[in-house]
A and B are shown apart, each in its own frame.
Chain A
Amino acid sequence: MSTSTDRVLDIRGLHVRFDTRDGEVHAVRGVDCHVERGECLGVVGESGSGKSQTFLAAMGLLAGNARTEGVVEHDGQNLLALSSAALDRVRGDRVAMIFQNPLTALTPHLTIGAQMRETLAAHRGSGGRKAIRARCIDWLERVALPEPERRLAQYPHELSGGMRQRVMIAQAMLCEPDLLIADEPTTALDVTIQAEILDLMDSLRRDTGTAIVLVTHDMGVVARLCDRVQVMRAGAYVEAGAVDAVFHAPAHAYTRALLDAVPRIDGPTAAAPVARADAAAVLVADEVDVRFHLPGALFRPGLELRAVDGISFSLAPGETLGVVGESGSGKSTLARAVLELVPRHAGQVAWMGRSIEGLAPTELRRARRDLSIVFQDPLASLDPSMTIGDSIAEPLRIAEPGLGRAARRTRVRETLERVGLEAGFVNRYPHELSGGQNQRVGIARAVITRPQVLICDEAVSALDVSVQAQVLVLLAELQKELGLAMLFISHDLSVVRQVSHRVLVMYLGSVVELAPCVALFDDPRHPYTRALLSAVPLPDPRIERGRERIRLQGSAARPTEAAARLRFRPSALVGVADGEHVPAATLDEVAPGHFVAAHDALERLLVE
């Protein structure tokens, strides 16, 4: 056991209580925890477990209605007992914090340089303009931000999400703190960016000896980065120990259940589709093309963004087609285009073997009963002023207008019970329900018309792991019962692997790879697919430590530029002017049903 002098933070018997109108909420219930110099401690738990509140309490950043009790010791001082002026001297200097959303955590009207100087001025006084500037540039270099000198004069909105998180880290590290508290630092980022940020945090910890507390819900992230882990549930730690021990021999049932619920990229795949291969496709997209016009300014012409650039696929009854891609790849736009919710620029869509081209608006609305969609945000996708029952009944009113009031009510109750909610929920409002319950309501609304196609747009992404597992089970059951064909859109490759029969990988509006699920995950051909797969963290510390990542040059940050569009074919970039349209790469069938977009050799695309 270490002596207490090695500890940069020592939390003993911490309680956090909130006074709310519904009475007292006991968010953290007597937590003991310590962080040693230079180590990385992972704190995992589901939402509402109190994992963030523990460390917000330590930093004195709790909301006004909170009361704390216990000791948080740093450098011989009890942080909970300090005056706010004394706490200000510790915060940002000895203990720093980075947050989940790098856009809202940076002040929009201040340049990067001004924000970094502010931190230094608060803790190091005036050290001369030149010295301060040099220190800022030095740290921006250390977090591997390209062109650091130019960045100092830029505003947060000019940087991409990953770059902003690098700036946050540089700012937090400016005073070389003893402890860096990272609250879900990569949750809002794409998987490849997440991998880069995690690598960066790991190397900074090795170089500077700054200890890191990583608060996260993602077991894979913990396995990649942490030495020790604490599993938190309902305000208390249920298990603590070295990562290897906790991951490979979990002592507590909750930890075991949590680990079992995490979908793994090396886990099992969906069973073979129940569908007859000869059955006619229920949904066909042919060269679908969606463009958005980005308005220009007085002397700057507008731009045209090809959100979906000629995508074709077909969906057989009972089949699940997974669609993966990073943010901005156009996967949600594709879903809305095949549902005729955004206008198509070109291309054809057929529902149930019938082209929707030239259908009268009323006919089109009637045809919608065969297709439904489940959205990402369970609360935002339900009308807050309507009861659950009314929301679920709505598609039925359109699809079967002849149905009487009583018959409709019966159907709503049946459907509610089918998705695992009590029939008594009909009179409740969405905000009275939890996220998982609301998502079940969203699913009930989608299946009440007994559709043949269900489009899930990030349907489980906003849910906790355990709830996510239950919702996936429900979707699989419904698919079997109703013979649903599903278009399953997600940024989470592990989930897609678990549910899909075929997978389509998208990059900036076009297909880079389309293959049967097993082939795609076991034998990825396209460099982008391989880079994505290698970036997904596995909830297994032994495998995770030895894994090599594939890092590709370039980024998708400026989707209208030719360099981004031709990221995997730099050889074709010669002679292409900026803004000029580049046709999507052709697809080659490398194996039966396995299509890969044309690309240059992987070696040419790697980061040196």
Chain B
Amino acid sequence: MSGVSKGSESLQAAALESAPVRGRSLMDDARARFLANRAASGSVVVLVLLVLAAVVGPAFLPWDHETPDWSAFRSPPSSENGHYFGTDQNGRDLLARTLHGTRVSLAVAFVATLVSVVIGVLFGAIAGYVGGRLDGAMMRFVDILYALPYILFVILLMVVFGRNVYLLFAAIGLLEWLTMARIVRGQTLSIRNREYIEAARAAGLGRMQIILRHVVPNLIGPVVIYAALTVPEIVATESFLSYLGFGVQEPLTSLGTLIAEGTDVIEVLPWLLWFPGATLVLLLLSLLFIGDGLRDAFDPKEIS
């Protein structure tokens, strides 16, 4: 027996309680797992490059997205005339237009996601925490909105208010929050029975204080994951709406609009489809991989 000779130790010293526990937060764990996921961390690099290119790229280009180059109509991609992605029927540089379109698509996606997160989290947390009849009424409201055909709803808004980029942001965000609200409500139902919520009630906190101080901060994991998966969905939706002609208006452009225009001339000017299409695919794939990586990183089952 190895330990018998150790002599007299008091139980206080023996208690493992005094052993210092090295701090490692849930966030640290999640970050480590995320970085270990090559597809996800590679996608972050791709996304950062895309965002940088979309935001600062146009400043370094001699062309902008709306001015025609009178010397180069319908130019295929070429390094000689400086139109690396070629030009369209009106002589506008496709690289400048693609970067501009990426910027618009990303802006739509982030604004709409933000709207959906704020509304969805508050709505879901209140419904889940208060429960009872209020919960029933709030969730039936969500169900009714769910039942309305999504695209029809957007088209109706467009018809009533006219084509407007800002309205598009709001409309998409106002519909996307439904799923977020459901996810958050489900999480809240499990959180509200935890002992720390009871401790907060015993300390005398009011309902809203408990929701804002104890429920919402503990929802971060699922909300971050779902938001990351919402972004590509919204980019795709925006592209779809623009393709249908309900999106942004000329001379502004988005990836969806560019692809729609490219599709019309696929036989004669194929580069007008390939470059915006490839950018969209790259953007969506990297966002999806990031969302998947976040989901795995925050999944409690992965925490050993």
Residue positions of A touching B, CB distance < 8 A: 20-22, 29-30, 32, 46-48, 63, 65, 233-234, 236-240, 251-254, 257-258, 260-261, 336, 339, 341, 361, 365-366, 368-369, 371-373, 375-377, 380-386, 391, 394-395, 398-399, 428-429, 431-437, 442, 445, 464, 466-467, 469-470
Residue of A nearest to B15 (CB): A466
Residue of B nearest to A29 (CB): B2
B12 within 8 A of A: yes
Can you spell out 26 A-B residue pairs with CB atoms less than 8 angstroms apart? Answer: A46-B15, A46-B16, A237-B2, A238-B3, A240-B1, A251-B4, A258-B11, A365-B206, A371-B202, A377-B195, A380-B195, A383-B217, A384-B196, A384-B218, A385-B217, A385-B218, A394-B203, A431-B25, A432-B24, A433-B21, A434-B17, A434-B21, A436-B15, A464-B16, A466-B12, A469-B11
A283 to nearest B CB, angstroms? 14
A389 to nearest B CB, angstroms? 14
Query: 1/0 per residue B10-44: CB within 8 Å of A?
Result: 11101111010111111000001000000000000
Residue of A238, A261, A380 touching B11 (CB-CB under 8 A):
A261
In the complex, number of A-B residue pairs with CB atoms less than 8 Å apart = 145
A258 to nearest B CB, angstroms? 7
A453 to nearest B CB, angstroms? 11
Query: 1/0 per residue B100-114: CB within 8 Å of A?
Result: 000000000000000
Q: CA of A373 to CA of B195 in the docked complex: distance in angstroms?
A: 11
Q: Given the complex, which residues of B lie within 8 Å of A373, measured CB to CB?
A: 198-199, 202
Q: Given the complex, which residues of B lie within 8 Å of A63, measured CB to CB?
A: 304
Q: Given the complex, which residues of A lie within 8 Å of B16, measured CB to CB?
A: 46-48, 434, 464
Residue of A368, A386, A431, A437 touching B202 (CB-CB under 8 A):
A368
On whether the beta carbons of A257 and B19 are closer than 8 Å, the reply is no
Query: 1/0 per residue B172-211: CB within 8 Å of A?
Result: 0000000000000000000000111011111111100000
On whether the beta carbons of A22 and B203 are closer than 8 Å, the reply is no
B193 to nearest A CB, angstroms? 10
* For the complex of A and B, 9 pairs with smallest distance between CB atoms: A257-B11, A365-B204, A436-B17, A395-B203, A381-B195, A432-B23, A368-B204, A253-B8, A385-B217
Q: Given the complex, which residues of B lie within 8 Å of A368, measured CB to CB?
A: 202-204
Q: Given the complex, which residues of B lie within 8 Å of A47, measured CB to CB?
A: 16
On whether the beta carbons of A380 and B4 are closer than 8 Å, the reply is no
Q: Given the complex, which residues of B lie within 8 Å of A469, measured CB to CB?
A: 11
Residue of B nearest to A254 (CB): B14
A21 to nearest B CB, angstroms? 7
B45 within 8 A of A: no
B9 within 8 A of A: yes
On whether the beta carbons of B1 and A437 are closer than 8 Å, the reply is no
Q: CA of A596 to CA of B80 in the docked complex: distance in angstroms?
A: 102
Residue of B nearest to A64 (CB): B304
On whether the beta carbons of B220 and A385 are closer than 8 Å, the reply is yes
B163 within 8 A of A: no
Q: CA of A46 to CA of B15 in the docked complex: distance in angstroms?
A: 9
B74 within 8 A of A: no
On whether the beta carbons of A384 and B15 are closer than 8 Å, the reply is no
Once A375-B195, A381-B199 are accepted as A-B contacts, the answer to whether A467 and B204 lie under 8 Å apart by CB is no
Residue of B199, B204, B217 touching A445 (CB-CB under 8 A):
B199
Q: CA of A22 to CA of B4 in the docked complex: distance in angstroms?
A: 29
On whether the beta carbons of B205 and A394 are closer than 8 Å, the reply is yes
Once A382-B196, A394-B200 are accepted as A-B contacts, the answer to whether A233 and B14 lie under 8 Å apart by CB is yes
Q: Given the complex, which residues of A lie within 8 Å of B3, measured CB to CB?
A: 233-234, 236-238, 252, 254
Q: Given the complex, which residues of A lie within 8 Å of B32, measured CB to CB?
A: 21
On whether the beta carbons of A399 and B21 are closer than 8 Å, the reply is no
A169 to nearest B CB, angstroms? 30
Which positions 202-231 of chain B face chain A at CB distance < 8 Å?
202-206, 213-214, 217-218, 220
B149 within 8 A of A: no
On whether the beta carbons of A253 and B7 are closer than 8 Å, the reply is yes
Q: CA of A466 to CA of B23 in the docked complex: distance in angstroms?
A: 24
Q: CA of A574 to CA of B25 in the docked complex: distance in angstroms?
A: 60
Residue of A nearest to B9 (CB): A253
On whether the beta carbons of A381 and B10 are closer than 8 Å, the reply is no
Once A21-B32, A253-B8 are accepted as A-B contacts, the answer to whether A432 and B205 lie under 8 Å apart by CB is no
On whether the beta carbons of A470 and B26 are closer than 8 Å, the reply is no
Q: Given the complex, which residues of A lie within 8 Å of B24, measured CB to CB?
A: 21-22, 432
On whether the beta carbons of B26 and A260 are closer than 8 Å, the reply is no
On whether the beta carbons of B214 and A383 are closer than 8 Å, the reply is yes
Besides A253-B10, A383-B217, 5 other A-B contacts (C-beta < 8 A): A237-B1, A252-B4, A366-B204, A373-B198, A373-B202
A504 to nearest B CB, angstroms? 21
On whether the beta carbons of A466 and B205 are closer than 8 Å, the reply is no
B99 to nearest A CB, angstroms? 39
Residue of B nearest to A395 (CB): B203
A557 to nearest B CB, angstroms? 24
Q: CA of A237 to CA of B203 in the docked complex: distance in angstroms?
A: 45
Q: Given the complex, which residues of B lie within 8 Å of A22, measured CB to CB?
A: 22, 24
Q: CA of A339 to CA of B203 in the docked complex: distance in angstroms?
A: 10
B197 to nearest A CB, angstroms? 8
Q: Given the complex, which residues of A lie within 8 Å of B203, measured CB to CB?
A: 368, 372, 394-395, 398, 445
Q: Given the complex, which residues of B lie within 8 Å of A30, measured CB to CB?
A: 2
Residue of A29, A238, A257, A395 touching B10 (CB-CB under 8 A):
A257
B26 to nearest A CB, angstroms? 7
Q: Given the complex, which residues of A lie within 8 Å of B218, measured CB to CB?
A: 383-385
On whether the beta carbons of A254 and B199 are closer than 8 Å, the reply is no
Residue of B nearest to A469 (CB): B11
Query: Of residues B6, B8, B202, which shows the largest number of chain A Cβ atoms within 10 Å of its Cβ?
Result: B202
On whether the beta carbons of B214 and A467 are closer than 8 Å, the reply is no
On whether the beta carbons of B17 and A341 are closer than 8 Å, the reply is no
A290 to nearest B CB, angstroms? 15
Q: Given the complex, which residues of A lie within 8 Å of B1, measured CB to CB?
A: 32, 236-240
